[in-house]
Structure 1
Amino acid sequence: MRVLVVMDPIENVNLKKDSTMAMLWAAARRGHELGYALQQDLYIDQGRAMGLIAPLQVFENTAEYYQLGEKQQQSIASYDVVLMRKDPPFDMNFIYTTYILEQAEREGAWIINKPQSLRDCNEKLFATQFPQLQVPTLVSSQQSLIREFLQQHQDVIVKPLDGMGGTGIFRLNYQGVNIGSTLEMLTQNGSLPIMAQRYIPEIVDGDKRILMINGEPIPYCLARIPQNGEVRGNLAAGGLGEARPLTERDRQIAAEVGPFLREKGLIFVGLDVIGEYVTEINVTSPTCIREIDAQFGTSIADNLFDVLEAARS
């Protein structure tokens, strides 16, 4: 297959942790032809989705891990699969990119994940479609409603709807002294909705990332365990990553969410689970492949390409 990756600058990746590199290495091992583009390289010309696309070679276990050729104007739809792996922030530029990729989709390209679903499925809000799998959750910009929620549940996590890596997450106690200033900052003085969730004590045992491929779970997850008194388990916030087999409850959650992911064309997704509950459904650029592979000897990117090749054969 011809495989195009849209990603952040390849020279800046963290080789020890980057899931996109795992995907590219798997594609190269299988003999697929790789192309590389940044978000700003994509464009529409006379109604056709195009890109300034560079031929890409990738190499494992070496400091010289990639080689790029000269950029060429190419139709995005000339590629069989397009891996949309641009990290958040999910801003207007990201949305414009999904419109370009949607045009490529109409021309026959297969975008992983589906552009419309990248727009529709906000990683915090998408989880609210499964209230039976969540702790009590409120989404609002109104301080009065959030304060009522805090009084009811007494120990609450608040976070922005567009954050990643644990940024902007606060734990509030109903007797706290900084409630007003925290909510003013997060809601931008009542103009921006945020999410409030009842605190889940099981966070001390880890915030589990369950990777889903075409609606089916990988049998191991990565528990991201908060360190040094932190409330956040995110690896970017200093959490410790410990791979574990899925529990029976993890499998139940995956079975309930999986059909919705397939329906929406969300092929590679990360469910975030704390204790018994789903907190987020990550669709933009899920990670944790490398950590699970390293601890359990899996090859999750190969699992992904098994699905892609079977669908394109």
Structure 2
Amino acid sequence: MSLRVAVQMDPLETINIAGDSSFALMLAAQARGHSVMHYDVRTLAYESGRLTAWATPVTVQRVLGSHFDRDDHRRIDLVKDVDVVLMRQDPPFDLSYITATHLLERLEGQTLVVNDPASVRNAPEKVFVLDFAQFMPPTLVARRIEDVRDFHARHPGDLVMKPLHGNGGKAVVRIPADGSNLGALIELFDNAWVEPHMFQPFLPDIALGDKRIVLVDGAVAGAINRRPGEGEFRSNLAQGGYAEATTLTAREDEICAALGPALRERGLVFVGIDVIGGQWLTEINVTSPTGIVAIDRFNGTDTPGLIWEAIERRHKALAA
């Protein structure tokens, strides 16, 4: 079954083909006989029940400096010309991102969108995870400094402060046990973001790594352990962390078993969760998860193939 696939993502010129998950998915789509188009989210247009985008057919190859070829741009109808939309542009998860999910949601029942846009909108990484608080470290989402000081008094020691809708470890900061920089950081965050911020006790186990576990249609596909680089406490690969092979703990198996049905029900086909110290769930990444290239490199697996098998099953069920 050949599918017509439109990939909504950032410019192809900017990606790192060595580790980019969207690029790996495009390569796998081609290998399975699917045709691939690329479009920028900013070109979406809706009129009289019709959703279109300004797209270009592409072919991709793992050749540094020449990793894609494109045809001429054209307007495509995301129902008539497309079977599957991959929503893969990177955050920030802002009003532009949210508006795109509202537009793509109008394709429901006609064109398969992965991940499901309504579920992506309703499941931002650091908010959806609150549904599984039994697996999380103590967590506060707040903006008032009085609330933060009260939380800190009940959880003495260093704190970690994160933007609620951040990504890639950006602007994640460590607050020392004496709270000496808390006021200044609250002021800084309040000026940068209108939403509340997330606070958690610093987990020393981060030195042992932050595990990225990928689930495909609710089932575990693989995992890597990400360790902080020298002089860093953040383990994100984008922040200088490095990956190593790993296996799952019993607690992590329990976490995945609890999440799986909820992810399948919501149409969240490709999800990456983050677990610290083998036991603390910190994020559920649904917007543009990464990590599959490193997982496959360590494990000899084919995670893009698993993702496309899940997409093909869902498309077949939609078309029936």
Scaled to the shorter chain, the TM-score interval is over 0.9
- Whether 2:68 is the aligned partner of 1:75: answer no
Change (3 A) 1:145 1:238: same
Change (3 A) 1:201 1:72: same
- After superposing the two structures, state which structure 1 stretch, 162-171 or 22-31, moved more: 162-171
Conserved? CA contact 1:6–1:37, under 8 Å: yes
Conserved? CA contact 2:269–2:311, under 8 Å: no
- Unpaired segments of 5 or more residues in structure 1? none
Which residue is equivalent to 2:14? Answer: 12
Q: Deviations over 1:164-221 (max 9, x none)?
A: 1111111113313211101221233996310111222211111111101111111x31
2:127 to 125, 128, 136: 125
Write the mapping of 1:234-273 to structure 2, written as runs, cut at 5 A.
234-273=236-275
Report the Cα distance in structure 2 between the residues aligned to 1:209 and 1:245, rounded to whole angstroms: 11
TM-score, normalized by length of structure 1? 0.95
Conserved? CA contact 1:141–1:191, under 8 Å: no
Which residue is equivalent to 2:54? Answer: 52
Write the mapping of 1:5-44 to structure 2, written as runs, cut at 5 A.
5-44=7-46
Report the Cα distance in structure 2 between the residues aligned to 1:31 and 1:62, rounded to whole angstroms: 23
- Whether 2:179 is the aligned partner of 1:176: answer yes
- C-alpha deviation, 1:229, in angstroms: 2.9
- Specify the code of the residue in structure 2 equivalent to 1:60: R
2:298 to 267, 276, 295: 295
Report the Cα distance in structure 2 between the residues aligned to 1:120 and 1:35, rounded to whole angstroms: 27
Report the Cα distance in structure 2 between the residues aligned to 1:247 and 1:198, rounded to whole angstroms: 22
- After superposing the two structures, state which structure 1 stretch, 15-24 or 287-296, moved more: 287-296
- Specify the code of the residue in structure 2 equivalent to 1:125: V
Identity of aligned residues (%): 39
- C-alpha deviation, 1:293, in angstroms: 1.3
Q: CA RMSD in A?
A: 1.6
- After superposing the two structures, state which structure 1 stretch, 184-193 or 1-10, moved more: 184-193
Report the Cα distance in structure 2 between the residues aligned to 1:190 and 1:246, rounded to whole angstroms: 35
Q: Deviations over 1:99-129 (max 9, x none)?
A: 22112225x0111011111111111011111
For these two proteins, the number of residue pairs brought into alignment is 311
Report the Cα distance in structure 2 between the residues aligned to 1:312 and 1:110, rounded to whole angstroms: 6
Aligned-partner SS, 2:304? helix
- C-alpha deviation, 1:62, in angstroms: 5.3
Report the Cα distance in structure 1 between the residues aligned to 2:243 and 2:275, rounded to whole angstroms: 14
Which residue is equivalent to 1:166? Answer: 169
